[in-house]
Amino acid sequence: GAGVSQSPSNKVTEKGKDVELRCDPISGHTALYWYRQSLGQGLEFLIYFQGNSAPDKSGLPSDRFSAERTGGSVSTLTIQRTQQEDSAVYLCASSFGTSGRGTQYFGPGTRLLVL
Amino acid sequence: KNEVEQSPQNLTAQEGEFITINCSYSVGISALHWLQQHPGGGIVSLFMLSSGKKKHGRLIATINIQEKHSSLHITASHPRDSAVYICAVSENSNYQLIWGAGTKLIIKP
């Protein structure tokens, strides 16, 4: 079966514009995560969805960041009024169950460059 | 002090050498993950461990729960093994992963 897919693979935008990043998790995976990896840095947790429960948004760096997951499947991460410091690779992962009980499968990431 | 520490930060070795990357953690965990990230590429989960040892091809991962330590070994290393290897743990009471800083491995032909 298909793995986790993300689109676009690369996105270049101008400062101040809004961007939408998409994640298609593995079918049947109830947990979905968004992470960010800035150049030379480790992975930073952004947001976590588990089934129909309210998402954990504790990792979102500012109110310019939001995410939704429709129908318990596809997720969209939206960054409003992008800033240069938002430039990073945005990674999505999905797993069956919670992270402590299931391997997280990562998508290829979206490389975002804000000029 | 970081809750997950990896060593070494950087490792350069010759093709064929036996490689060991270490991970120590300070919190109670339900699982430990080893992941691989190739330059410019995505992240691939290699192992998820809660006890003992797992083997996949030339990769071996071990964990000692009492000592809060895990090792990732690569036998007969090859240039294509060059990547960043990341250790991450799931805390007992928290689904979020706590990430190590990664070990950058370069295997020279």
B7-20: pLDDT as tens digits: 999 999 999 999 99
Place of tokens 């093709």: B15
CB–CB of B33 and A103 under 8 A? yes
Q: Report the 10 Å Cβ neighbour count for A51.
A: 10
Separation CA B23–CA A103 (nearest Å): 18
| Closest of B24, B30, B26 to residue B8, by C-alpha | B24
Kindly state the greatest CA–CA separation across chain A: 40
Phi and psi at residue A55, to the nearest 5° = -70, 155
| Closest of B12, B32, B35, B14 to residue B24, by C-alpha | B32
Q: Which of A99, A107, A109 sits opposite B95 (nearest CB)?
A: A99
CB–CB of B30 and A101 under 8 A? yes
* Cβ pair A23, A34 in contact under 8 A: yes
* Cβ pair B21, B13 in contact under 8 A: no
B109 preceded by cis ω (within 30°)?
no
Whole-angstrom CA distances from B27 to A71, A81, B54, B103 are 35, 38, 22, 20
pLDDT value, residue A25: 94
Separation CA B57–CA B40 (nearest Å): 24
Q: Does A9 touch chain B (CB under 8 A)?
A: no
A21-71 pLDDT, tens digit each: 999 999 988 889 999 988 777 788 899 888 878 888 888 999 999 999 988
CB–CB of B30 and A43 under 8 A? no
Question: Is 80 exceeded by the pLDDT of residue A99?
Answer: no
Separation CA B28–CA A7 (nearest Å): 36
